[in-house]
Amino acid sequence: MRLSEITLRCGCDCQSGSSDPEITMVSSDSRTIRAGGLFIAISGYKDNGLLYIEDAVRRGARAVVVEEGSSVKVDKSGPVVICYTKHARKCALDAAKVFYDDPSRGFTLVG
């Protein structure tokens, strides 16, 4: 799936790197990123996803999503696309729905 298909749903603004790479997986955990992955840097109560961008890139991330106003320390002339969004958590949800074809639609809720 192309990055543009995912970011269109997330409302991301992608500004650097190659224009529209093929994305092979989506994750907010840099330890699980594989070649072609989309890493979504989410800030939490105890940790900050921005600290793991370099790790995600080393593991093969082709694109990184960060919240607007974030300071990103990645070689922007390289093959990594940096995308900005207002809400990284919502973007992670929307990206997973698009990439994994919204699996919750197939569930029936009983009770």
pLDDT band of residue 76 (cuts 50, 70, 90) is: low
Considering the domain boundaries, does residue 110 fall inside one?
no
pTM of the model: 0.86
Considering the domain boundaries, does residue 109 fall inside one?
no
Give the structural domain span for 84.
3-104
Task: Give pairs for 31-38: CB < 8 Å, separation 24+.
Answer: 31/55, 31/59, 33/59, 33/60, 33/61, 34/59, 34/60, 35/59, 35/60, 35/62, 36/60, 36/62, 37/61, 37/62, 38/3, 38/6, 38/62, 38/63, 38/64, 38/65, 38/95, 38/99
pLDDT band of residue 17 (cuts 50, 70, 90) is: low
| Counted domains in the chain | 1
What CATH number does the domain containing 96 carry?
3.40.1390.10
